[in-house]
Amino acid sequence: MILDETITLNSGIKIPRFALGTWMIDDHKVADAVRTAIKLGYRHIDTAQAYGNERGVGEGVRTANLPRNQVFVTSKVAAEHKDYATTKKSIDETLKKMGLDYIDMMVIHSPQPWKEVNQSDNRYLEGNLAAWQAMEDAVSEGKIRTIGVSNFNQSDLENIIKNSNTIPAVDQVLAHIGHTPFNLLDFARKHQIAVEAYSPVAHGAALDNPVIEKVAKKYHVSVPQLCIRYDWQLGMIVLPKTANPYHMKENTEINFEISEEDMDLLRRVKPLDYGDADVFPVYGGKM
Protein backbone atom coordinates (compact mmCIF):
# COMPACT_ATOMS: atom_id res chain seq x y z
CA MET A 1 0.00 0.00 0.00
CA ILE A 2 1.25 3.49 -0.90
CA LEU A 3 0.81 4.82 2.65
CA ASP A 4 2.98 2.00 4.03
CA GLU A 5 5.99 2.84 1.84
CA THR A 6 9.02 4.23 3.65
CA ILE A 7 12.57 5.12 2.77
CA THR A 8 15.57 5.16 5.09
CA LEU A 9 17.18 8.60 5.31
CA ASN A 10 20.95 9.13 5.41
CA SER A 11 20.58 9.48 9.20
CA GLY A 12 19.22 5.93 9.43
CA ILE A 13 15.71 7.13 10.28
CA LYS A 14 12.77 5.66 8.33
CA ILE A 15 10.34 8.18 6.83
CA PRO A 16 6.96 7.47 5.20
CA ARG A 17 7.03 8.59 1.53
CA PHE A 18 3.49 9.97 1.61
CA ALA A 19 2.64 12.87 3.92
CA LEU A 20 -0.19 15.24 4.70
CA GLY A 21 0.85 18.84 4.08
CA THR A 22 -0.91 21.39 6.34
CA TRP A 23 0.04 24.79 4.88
CA MET A 24 -2.92 27.21 5.03
CA ILE A 25 -5.05 24.89 7.18
CA ASP A 26 -6.22 26.97 10.16
CA ASP A 27 -5.02 26.01 13.62
CA HIS A 28 -8.59 25.41 14.86
CA LYS A 29 -9.36 23.09 11.91
CA VAL A 30 -6.09 21.22 11.49
CA ALA A 31 -6.48 18.77 14.41
CA ASP A 32 -9.55 17.27 12.71
CA ALA A 33 -7.66 17.06 9.41
CA VAL A 34 -4.73 15.30 11.09
CA ARG A 35 -6.98 12.81 12.92
CA THR A 36 -8.85 12.06 9.68
CA ALA A 37 -5.60 11.55 7.77
CA ILE A 38 -4.22 9.20 10.42
CA LYS A 39 -7.50 7.25 10.41
CA LEU A 40 -7.11 6.87 6.62
CA GLY A 41 -3.60 5.46 7.10
CA TYR A 42 -1.36 8.52 6.80
CA ARG A 43 1.72 8.17 8.98
CA HIS A 44 3.59 11.39 8.13
CA ILE A 45 2.32 14.90 8.98
CA ASP A 46 4.12 18.07 7.85
CA THR A 47 3.78 21.49 9.49
CA ALA A 48 5.95 24.56 10.16
CA GLN A 49 6.40 27.36 12.66
CA ALA A 50 5.35 29.79 9.90
CA TYR A 51 2.04 27.97 9.31
CA GLY A 52 0.69 29.06 12.70
CA ASN A 53 -0.93 25.64 13.21
CA GLU A 54 1.66 23.62 15.15
CA ARG A 55 -0.60 23.57 18.22
CA GLY A 56 -3.48 22.03 16.25
CA VAL A 57 -1.24 19.55 14.45
CA GLY A 58 0.16 18.43 17.81
CA GLU A 59 -3.36 18.02 19.19
CA GLY A 60 -4.33 15.92 16.16
CA VAL A 61 -1.30 13.65 16.58
CA ARG A 62 -1.81 13.26 20.34
CA THR A 63 -5.53 12.45 20.05
CA ALA A 64 -5.40 10.11 17.06
CA ASN A 65 -5.47 6.87 19.07
CA LEU A 66 -2.15 5.76 17.65
CA PRO A 67 1.16 5.34 19.50
CA ARG A 68 3.34 8.44 19.06
CA ASN A 69 6.17 6.42 17.48
CA GLN A 70 3.88 5.39 14.61
CA VAL A 71 3.38 8.95 13.29
CA PHE A 72 6.28 10.83 11.69
CA VAL A 73 5.98 14.54 12.49
CA THR A 74 7.91 17.22 10.60
CA SER A 75 8.08 20.91 11.43
CA LYS A 76 10.21 23.74 10.10
CA VAL A 77 12.29 26.45 11.75
CA ALA A 78 11.00 29.84 10.60
CA ALA A 79 12.97 31.24 7.65
CA GLU A 80 13.83 34.37 9.66
CA HIS A 81 15.77 32.44 12.33
CA LYS A 82 19.42 32.72 11.29
CA ASP A 83 21.27 32.46 14.60
CA TYR A 84 21.87 29.75 17.18
CA ALA A 85 19.92 31.17 20.15
CA THR A 86 16.73 32.06 18.25
CA THR A 87 16.67 28.68 16.49
CA LYS A 88 17.23 26.77 19.74
CA LYS A 89 14.46 28.73 21.47
CA SER A 90 12.06 28.19 18.56
CA ILE A 91 12.57 24.41 18.67
CA ASP A 92 11.67 24.37 22.38
CA GLU A 93 8.60 26.52 21.61
CA THR A 94 7.53 24.10 18.85
CA LEU A 95 7.72 21.14 21.26
CA LYS A 96 5.71 23.06 23.86
CA LYS A 97 3.05 24.20 21.35
CA MET A 98 2.66 20.73 19.90
CA GLY A 99 2.65 19.03 23.30
CA LEU A 100 5.13 16.43 22.03
CA ASP A 101 8.27 15.03 23.67
CA TYR A 102 10.15 15.05 20.36
CA ILE A 103 9.78 16.02 16.70
CA ASP A 104 10.76 13.37 14.14
CA MET A 105 12.29 15.92 11.77
CA MET A 106 13.01 19.63 11.89
CA VAL A 107 13.80 21.51 8.70
CA ILE A 108 15.18 25.02 7.99
CA HIS A 109 12.24 26.52 6.07
CA SER A 110 14.26 28.63 3.64
CA PRO A 111 17.91 29.68 3.23
CA GLN A 112 16.71 33.31 3.13
CA PRO A 113 14.11 35.13 5.25
CA TRP A 114 10.87 35.22 3.25
CA LYS A 115 11.03 38.95 2.58
CA GLU A 116 14.35 38.46 0.79
CA VAL A 117 13.42 35.42 -1.32
CA ASN A 118 13.73 36.30 -5.03
CA GLN A 119 15.08 39.78 -4.30
CA SER A 120 18.40 39.34 -2.50
CA ASP A 121 21.70 37.64 -3.33
CA ASN A 122 22.42 37.09 0.37
CA ARG A 123 22.20 33.33 0.97
CA TYR A 124 22.81 33.68 4.74
CA LEU A 125 25.53 31.03 4.70
CA GLU A 126 26.74 31.77 8.26
CA GLY A 127 23.21 32.19 9.61
CA ASN A 128 22.13 28.86 8.17
CA LEU A 129 25.15 27.15 9.72
CA ALA A 130 24.29 28.68 13.11
CA ALA A 131 20.68 27.47 12.82
CA TRP A 132 21.96 24.07 11.69
CA GLN A 133 24.24 23.81 14.73
CA ALA A 134 21.26 24.48 17.01
CA MET A 135 19.34 21.73 15.23
CA GLU A 136 22.27 19.29 15.48
CA ASP A 137 22.42 19.99 19.22
CA ALA A 138 18.66 19.41 19.53
CA VAL A 139 19.20 15.97 17.93
CA SER A 140 21.92 15.22 20.52
CA GLU A 141 19.49 16.28 23.26
CA GLY A 142 16.78 13.93 21.98
CA LYS A 143 14.38 16.72 20.99
CA ILE A 144 14.58 15.93 17.26
CA ARG A 145 15.33 12.61 15.54
CA THR A 146 16.70 13.93 12.23
CA ILE A 147 17.18 17.27 10.45
CA GLY A 148 16.85 18.68 6.95
CA VAL A 149 16.30 21.80 4.89
CA SER A 150 13.74 23.31 2.55
CA ASN A 151 14.02 25.51 -0.55
CA PHE A 152 17.82 25.08 -0.52
CA ASN A 153 19.64 25.18 -3.84
CA GLN A 154 22.90 23.36 -4.56
CA SER A 155 25.20 26.07 -3.15
CA ASP A 156 23.09 26.27 0.03
CA LEU A 157 23.38 22.50 0.46
CA GLU A 158 27.12 22.55 -0.22
CA ASN A 159 27.54 25.13 2.55
CA ILE A 160 25.98 22.74 5.09
CA ILE A 161 27.74 19.64 3.73
CA LYS A 162 31.21 21.24 3.77
CA ASN A 163 30.93 23.11 7.06
CA SER A 164 29.02 20.87 9.45
CA ASN A 165 29.03 17.33 10.82
CA THR A 166 25.62 16.41 9.41
CA ILE A 167 24.45 16.08 5.81
CA PRO A 168 20.80 17.21 5.51
CA ALA A 169 18.46 14.22 5.53
CA VAL A 170 16.03 15.95 3.16
CA ASP A 171 15.59 19.00 0.97
CA GLN A 172 11.91 19.93 0.75
CA VAL A 173 11.30 21.84 -2.48
CA LEU A 174 8.63 23.01 -4.90
CA ALA A 175 8.45 20.14 -7.40
CA HIS A 176 5.63 19.42 -9.80
CA ILE A 177 4.91 18.90 -13.50
CA GLY A 178 6.06 22.12 -15.17
CA HIS A 179 8.56 22.87 -12.40
CA THR A 180 10.88 19.95 -11.65
CA PRO A 181 14.38 20.79 -10.34
CA PHE A 182 16.19 17.96 -12.17
CA ASN A 183 19.74 19.23 -11.46
CA LEU A 184 18.95 19.51 -7.76
CA LEU A 185 17.44 16.00 -7.78
CA ASP A 186 20.69 14.66 -9.27
CA PHE A 187 22.85 16.52 -6.74
CA ALA A 188 20.70 15.34 -3.83
CA ARG A 189 20.85 11.74 -5.04
CA LYS A 190 24.67 11.86 -5.14
CA HIS A 191 24.72 12.99 -1.51
CA GLN A 192 21.95 10.61 -0.34
CA ILE A 193 19.68 13.56 0.46
CA ALA A 194 16.01 12.64 0.05
CA VAL A 195 13.93 15.19 -1.86
CA GLU A 196 10.44 16.04 -0.63
CA ALA A 197 7.99 17.57 -3.13
CA TYR A 198 5.61 20.16 -1.78
CA SER A 199 2.74 21.56 -3.89
CA PRO A 200 2.74 18.52 -6.22
CA VAL A 201 -0.43 19.91 -7.85
CA ALA A 202 1.18 23.38 -8.21
CA HIS A 203 -1.27 24.95 -5.75
CA GLY A 204 -4.05 23.98 -8.17
CA ALA A 205 -2.42 25.44 -11.30
CA ALA A 206 -1.98 21.94 -12.79
CA LEU A 207 -5.77 21.49 -12.92
CA ASP A 208 -6.04 23.86 -15.91
CA ASN A 209 -3.22 22.49 -18.02
CA PRO A 210 -4.47 20.71 -21.19
CA VAL A 211 -1.41 18.44 -21.51
CA ILE A 212 -1.70 17.24 -17.91
CA GLU A 213 -5.48 16.82 -18.28
CA LYS A 214 -5.05 14.72 -21.43
CA VAL A 215 -2.53 12.37 -19.83
CA ALA A 216 -4.70 12.02 -16.69
CA LYS A 217 -7.67 10.99 -18.85
CA LYS A 218 -5.52 8.38 -20.58
CA TYR A 219 -4.86 6.69 -17.22
CA HIS A 220 -8.44 7.23 -15.96
CA VAL A 221 -7.18 9.20 -12.97
CA SER A 222 -7.66 12.74 -11.67
CA VAL A 223 -5.13 15.49 -12.42
CA PRO A 224 -3.97 15.55 -8.75
CA GLN A 225 -3.45 11.77 -8.82
CA LEU A 226 -1.35 12.05 -11.99
CA CYS A 227 0.69 14.93 -10.53
CA ILE A 228 1.37 13.08 -7.28
CA ARG A 229 2.29 9.90 -9.16
CA TYR A 230 4.71 11.88 -11.35
CA ASP A 231 6.68 13.09 -8.29
CA TRP A 232 6.42 9.61 -6.76
CA GLN A 233 7.95 7.97 -9.86
CA LEU A 234 10.81 10.46 -9.72
CA GLY A 235 11.61 9.01 -6.29
CA MET A 236 10.45 11.90 -4.14
CA ILE A 237 8.57 11.98 -0.84
CA VAL A 238 5.25 13.71 -1.62
CA LEU A 239 3.41 16.24 0.56
CA PRO A 240 -0.01 16.99 -0.93
CA LYS A 241 -1.97 19.41 1.24
CA THR A 242 -5.70 19.09 1.88
CA ALA A 243 -8.22 19.26 4.71
CA ASN A 244 -10.86 17.47 2.61
CA PRO A 245 -11.28 13.79 3.60
CA TYR A 246 -12.33 12.79 0.07
CA HIS A 247 -9.21 14.37 -1.44
CA MET A 248 -7.05 12.89 1.32
CA LYS A 249 -8.16 9.42 0.26
CA GLU A 250 -8.11 10.09 -3.49
CA ASN A 251 -4.59 11.55 -3.33
CA THR A 252 -3.25 8.25 -2.02
CA GLU A 253 -4.81 6.17 -4.81
CA ILE A 254 -1.81 6.28 -7.12
CA ASN A 255 -1.22 2.58 -7.69
CA PHE A 256 -0.70 2.96 -11.42
CA GLU A 257 2.39 3.37 -13.57
CA ILE A 258 3.00 6.32 -15.91
CA SER A 259 4.85 5.03 -18.99
CA GLU A 260 8.36 6.34 -19.67
CA GLU A 261 7.05 7.98 -22.84
CA ASP A 262 4.40 9.87 -20.87
CA MET A 263 6.86 10.73 -18.09
CA ASP A 264 9.07 12.29 -20.76
CA LEU A 265 6.11 14.27 -22.09
CA LEU A 266 5.27 15.49 -18.56
CA ARG A 267 8.92 16.39 -17.89
CA ARG A 268 8.72 18.81 -20.82
CA VAL A 269 5.52 20.61 -19.78
CA LYS A 270 6.13 24.38 -19.79
CA PRO A 271 6.04 26.36 -16.51
CA LEU A 272 2.52 26.78 -15.14
CA ASP A 273 0.68 30.01 -14.35
CA TYR A 274 0.13 30.02 -10.59
CA GLY A 275 -2.63 32.63 -10.77
CA ASP A 276 -3.43 34.19 -7.38
CA ALA A 277 -0.83 31.96 -5.69
CA ASP A 278 2.02 33.74 -7.49
CA VAL A 279 2.10 36.33 -4.69
CA PHE A 280 3.78 33.73 -2.45
CA PRO A 281 7.61 33.69 -2.50
CA VAL A 282 7.75 29.95 -3.26
CA TYR A 283 5.90 30.62 -6.52
CA GLY A 284 8.09 33.57 -7.49
CA GLY A 285 6.33 36.39 -5.64
CA LYS A 286 7.79 38.78 -3.09
CA MET A 287 6.78 39.59 0.45
Query: CB of 280 within 8 A of CB of 269?
Result: no
Residue of 195, 207, 280 whose CA lies nearest to 231? 195
Q: How many alpha carbons lie under 13 Å from residue 9 in its C-beta half-sphere?
A: 24
Interval 180-237: pLDDT, tens:
999 999 999 999 999 999 999 999 999 999 999 999 999 999 999 999 999 999 999 9
- What structural domains and CATH numbers belong to the chain? 2-283 (3.20.20.100)
Provide the pLDDT confidence category of residue 253 given band limits of 50, 70 and 90. very high
- The whole-angstrom separation of Cα 162 and Cα 148 is 15
Give catalytic residues, as residue numbers: 51
Task: Determine the Cα–Cα distance for residues 251 and 240; give it in Å rounded to an integer.
Answer: 8
Mode of pairing for the β-strands spanning 72-77 and 103-108: parallel
User: Any binding-site annotation on 109?
Assistant: yes
DSSP letters, 124-135, are -HHHHHHHHHHH
Nearest to 50 by CA among 83, 2, 97: 97
CA distance 19 to 39: 13
pLDDT tens figures, 112-155: 999 999 889 999 999 999 999 999 999 999 999 999 999 999 99
DSSP annotation of 199: -
